[in-house]
Structure 1
Amino acid sequence: MNSRKILITHPLHPSLLEKVKSQFSAWQIIHASKQDEWQEHLIDSEIIVGWRNSFDMQSINQNDQLKWIQTWSAGINTLPLDQLSKKNIFITSANGVHSYPISETIFALLLGLTRNIHTYVRNQQTKKWDGTDIKLEAHKKTIGIIGVGAIGLETAKIAKAFDMHVIGVRNSLKPTDYVDKLYTSNQLAEVLPICDYVVVTLPLTDDTYHLFQKEQFQQMKKSAFFINIGRGEIVKEDDLVEALISGEILGAGLDVFETEPLQQSSPLWDLENVIITPHTSGSTEHYSSRVIEEIFLQNAIYYLKGEPLPINLVDYHKGY
């Protein structure tokens, strides 16, 4: 009888790989980060750690052994959810591993825009000394966090160090630390006019697609900054560009875009009130260890006992 198999498609430090082997001592562990190495194992692996968009779906569909996919990202919108749901495959995401690096990026963007750091970096290239347009500060301002999950909570915690008033938007109104007041997504129109900073940390679902467009930017303060580290498709990008050019909002910090890489023809590249990062807000030296140690191996304890997976189990109906 063939041993049960795990396919790991991302490079792991030997120490992490040993921890996987120790917990799955009777299993065959395939550690293959290149397509020509993983291809043959798609058809008979019971667990796949690290979803790749280049996977051969014919092999996945033929795999009657596949029971669990641990993704390498928090978002699951690139997975063929309809096909996987029909096969009753468990999906666990990497949600939560990004809390520190993304919240740091959010505040890097927030403070950079507030204190004109992006302008000064450009001026440095031409040795231009100009400090005439600097007046804003973030302390005691109001920040609206649209999506109060792990990333949103860490962002709220940092905001409190700046004595900011924190407003959160999520479906549950259960009180939480560091958030002064919670609203539901249906109350977004009440939230946007009172925020100095609007931070989007939402996943992409049918409900969040183009959640932010012309109407929402018109509801924001003209002095407000918009920061998106969720998914680019949550924002109707043409409407955002129009809002930035017209002065409907003061500026934006963007890590995600409707089309990635961001097309060279995009007006966003040339707008002086925009900071662009190339979808790197979640990158961190600790990424692999957090996915493996804090999510995968913790869930594995329950999987091996035939019990429900407690961490980041995706709800197909919700899309996250």
Structure 2
Amino acid sequence: MLKKTCIVTHDLEQSQLEKINEIIPDWELISGKDPEIWMDYVKEAEVIAGWKKEIGQHILEENTKLRWFQSWSAGVDSLPLAKMESQGIQITSANGVHANPISETIFALMLALTRKIHTYVKNQQSKKWHHSGMKLEIHNKTIGIIGVGAIGKETAKIAKAFGMKVLGVRHSGKPEEYADEMYTSSQLNDVLPQCDYVAITLPLTKETRQLFGAEQFLLMKDTAFFINIGRGEIVVENDLIAALQDGQIAGAGLDVFEKEPLGEDSPLWELENVIVTPHTAGSTEFYNQRVIEDIFIPNLKNYVKGERPAINLVDYRKGY
């Protein structure tokens, strides 16, 4: 009988490979970033962890042997979902891996904007000693967390350490431990006028695409800060730029954009009330460890027993 094949398109530590081998000792396990390592095995792979453009054309053929794909990112909107669904491929995401680094980034952006750190860094570069109108505090303010999943929950937890009031928005509106009030997605416009900070932690779906436009920015306080670490396409970028230029909102911290890399001609680079980061909010020294040990290995144990992966199984209807 031919060996089954599992491919991991990332460089793993030997200890992680050994843990996987313990679960599938009779399988062919191929791991590495270099496509030359695994390209010859793609057509035979039943399990693949980590999407690379080089594998797309092979695993989407009608006779693919792929049955389970583990995404290396929390969002799966960039995958050919319709094709994968039609072939009965199960997908699991890396949701939860990013809770710590992204919640840290959210607060780094919020604090930098509030305490004018970005302004002082620019002043330092020109050896300029200037107060720059510093006055705001983050303590006891209100944050609206739009999308209370793993990242949103950790963000809410941190917010309580600052004595903040936490308003959460999720599709179901069900209660959350660190949220003072929870709202459904249809109540978004009721939440925005209450917030001093609005943090977008949503996945990109048909429902969330261009969810934030001119109407939503007009509803926000002119003293409020807007943070987006979800997906750029959730926001109508030109409407955001107009709101920032016209003083409809106080500023923004942005890690994601409609088109990436952000074009050099974008006004967002030059706006004094904007901090731009290059889609790195989820980057962490523990990324591979969390994907493999917290998600992939527990799911692999289920898979070899003939069960569905239990952690982060993507619902094709919802798109996440």
Which bracket does the TM-score occupy, shorter chain normalised?
over 0.9
In structure 1, C-alpha distance between the alignment counterparts of 2:254 and 2:30, rounded to whole Å: 37
How far has the Cα of 1:59 moved from its partner?
4.5
1:144–1:195: 8 Å Cα contact kept in structure 2? Answer: yes
Q: What is the CA-CA distance between 1:24 and the residue it aligns to?
A: 1.2
| TM-score, normalised with respect to structure 1 | 0.98
Q: Which residue of 2 aligns with 1:236?
A: 236
Counterpart in the other structure of 2:125: 125
Where has structure 1 moved over 3 Å in runs of 4 or more? none
Distance 2:43 2:248 in 1: 52
State the partner residue of 2:106: 106
**Cα offset, 1:57, TM superposition:** 1.8
Give the C-alpha shift of residue 62 in structure 1.
4.2
The one-letter code sitting in structure 2 at the alignment partner of 1:295 is I
- Could you say which residue in structure 2 is the equivalent of 1:201? 201
Whether the 8 Å contact between 1:167 and 1:180 is mirrored in structure 2 is yes
Q: Is the Cα contact below 8 Å between 1:244 and 1:250 reproduced in 2? A: yes
Residue 55 of structure 2: SS of its match in structure 1?
coil
Per the TM alignment, residue 173 of structure 1 is displaced from its structure 2 partner at its CA by 2.4
Task: Establish whether residue 10 from structure 1 lines up as the match of residue 35 from structure 2.
Answer: no
Distance 1:319 1:123 in 2: 44
Checking the alignment, whether the CA contact within 8 Å between 1:39 and 1:56 is kept in structure 2 is no
Q: Give the TM-score taking structure 2 as reference length.
A: 0.98
Asked if 1:136 corresponds to 2:130, the answer is no
Shift of 1:171: 1.3
What is the distance in 1 between the residues matched to 2:195 and 2:308?
40
Do the aligned partners of 1:45 and 1:63 also contact (CA within 8 Å) in 2? no
CA contact (8 A) 2:59 2:65 kept: no
What is the SS of the residue equivalent to 2:95? Answer: coil
Q: C-alpha displacement at 1:56, in angstroms?
A: 3.6
Please say if residues 91 and 314 of structure 1, whose CA atoms lie closer than 8 Å, have aligned partners that are also in contact: yes
Alignment of 1:1-150 (within 5 A): 1-150=1-150
**Structure 2: unaligned runs, 5 residues or longer:** none
In 2: Cα distance, 1:245 partner to 1:53 partner = 38
Shift of 1:65: 1.8
For residue 14 of structure 1, report the CA deviation from its aligned partner: 1.5
Q: Distance in 1 between matches of 2:56 and 2:113?
A: 43
Distance 1:62 1:36, change over 3 A: farther
- 1:77-133 Cα deviation digits (max 9, x unpaired): 110001000011110000000000000000000000000000000001000011141
Aligned position for 1:261: 261
Change in Cα spacing, 1:59 to 1:65, as seen in structure 2 (3 Å) is: closer
Instruction: Give the Cα–Cα distance (whole angstroms) in 1 for the partners of residues 276 and 54 of structure 2.
Output: 27
